[in-house]
Amino acid sequence: MPFQLLYVATKGAVEQIVRVLSKDFATKGITVNAVVPGATGTAMFYKGKTEEMVNQSKSTIPMGRLGTPEEIAEVITWLAGESSGWVTGQVIRANGGSA
């Protein structure tokens, strides 16, 4: 089975798990959400990529750049905080506008 098929199948499963668990735990005041980061400038992202490959990735992002780990952390921090208390069952794509 191709790797890509397994990868997208598990991502889809995570999204459905978030939806189901958010409903199951809502009555207990527990929120369940997921963050799906786009291409982020981490050591794992850069590993094995040439500068040309990195630039190609950047060119597909509407904002024209990679995200930073700090930007992804800010989304997670917001979700963990009180100001997002009514947000549940959501899959937030932090990806610079990539669809």
Task: Please report the DSSP string for the chain in residue order.
Answer: --HHHHHHHHHHHHHHHHHHHHHHHHTTT----EEEE-SB-SHHHHTT--HHHHHHHHHTSTTSS-B-HHHHHHHHHHHHSGGGTT--S-EEEESTT--
Active-site residue, 46 included: no
Give the angle subtended at the CA of 18 by the CAs of 7 and 2, to the nearest 5°: 10
Active-site residue identified among 6, 7, 56, 69 = 7
Question: Which residues are tagged catalytic?
Answer: 7
